[in-house]
Structure 1
Amino acid sequence: MNELSATSCACGAVTVKISGEPRTTMLCACKDCQKATGTGHSALALFSDDHIEIEGETKSFSVTADSGATVDRKFCPNCGTPIFGISGRVPMHKLLPVSMLGEDAQNYQPRAMIFNRSHYDWDIVDPELPKFEKYKEK
């Protein structure tokens, strides 16, 4: 995905333009992602800030994640669509829900699941996917 790809929130008030490839893709089963998605995990793509353009107003709230890192979650104030997150662990990057990749989302398979320690058995994922109890060690 080297060309610019664009997508928007459910109501169209916030648009996201993406160029280049993500640094990584992952599933996260931490308790905070479960609350944010209403399911057993989130599907995320980590992009460098210079590969993302956000247009439109967002609202945010910050949480302290299971790891102790601060995560700032941005969402559309009109429809509530999650737009991106910023983790204190990864400066100069944004965590985009894979759904924000629009039609290109199908091209991005997760490379691992983090925070597998809080993953629910009913939330079925590929058994071959590498799993880490917390953050993947570098």
Structure 2
Amino acid sequence: MLLCGCNDCQRATGAGHSSTFIVSASALEISGNTKSFTRPADSGATFTRHFCPECGTIIYGQSSRAGDLRLVPVGLFAGQNDWFAASRLIFCESHPAWDSLGEDLPQVAGYGDGT
């Protein structure tokens, strides 16, 4: 579970960060169709967001650096996501100061875990 302060996450959420959790691709089951958009990431990888073609809600994202992992936005579980506890903020160098977060949260300049 993590927060991401990269510029793309800021644009996607309209906030200063995104809140996501990571699961293996095999642990995620999607019913129905999705559309996707792929773009180059600041890290040099490519990042693909998969979203609902009807309402535009982001369902998950994936990086070319970690093709077997999926980043799922916690907001998908709105009203039922009290279990979320971020372990760190990644891409903290682009995270805006106005977006206040817990001061005790570890902050990492990039991905932080090598992916």
Query: Shorter-normalised TM-score: what interval?
Result: over 0.9
Q: Mean Cα displacement is larger for which, 101-110 or 119-128?
A: 101-110
Give the structure 2 partner of residue 106 of structure 1. 82
| Greater RCO (CA < 8 Å, at least 6 residues apart) | 2
* TM-score with structure 1 setting the length: 0.78
Partner of 1:95, secondary structure, is strand
* Structure 1 runs, 4 residues or longer, greater than 4 Å off: none
Of 28, 47, 61, the match for 1:52 = 28
State yes or no: 1:130 paired with 2:106: yes
CA distance in 2: counterparts of 1:111 and 1:124, whole angstroms: 16
Aligned-residue offset at 1:100: 2.2
Where structure 1 has 5 or more consecutive residues not aligned to the other structure, the ranges are: 1-24
Give the RMSD, CA atoms, in angstroms. Answer: 1.3
Partner of 1:105, secondary structure, is coil
Where structure 2 has 5 or more consecutive residues not aligned to the other structure, the ranges are: none
Which of structures 1 and 2 has the bigger CA Rg?
A: 1
Q: Percent identity?
A: 43
* TM-score with structure 2 setting the length: 0.92
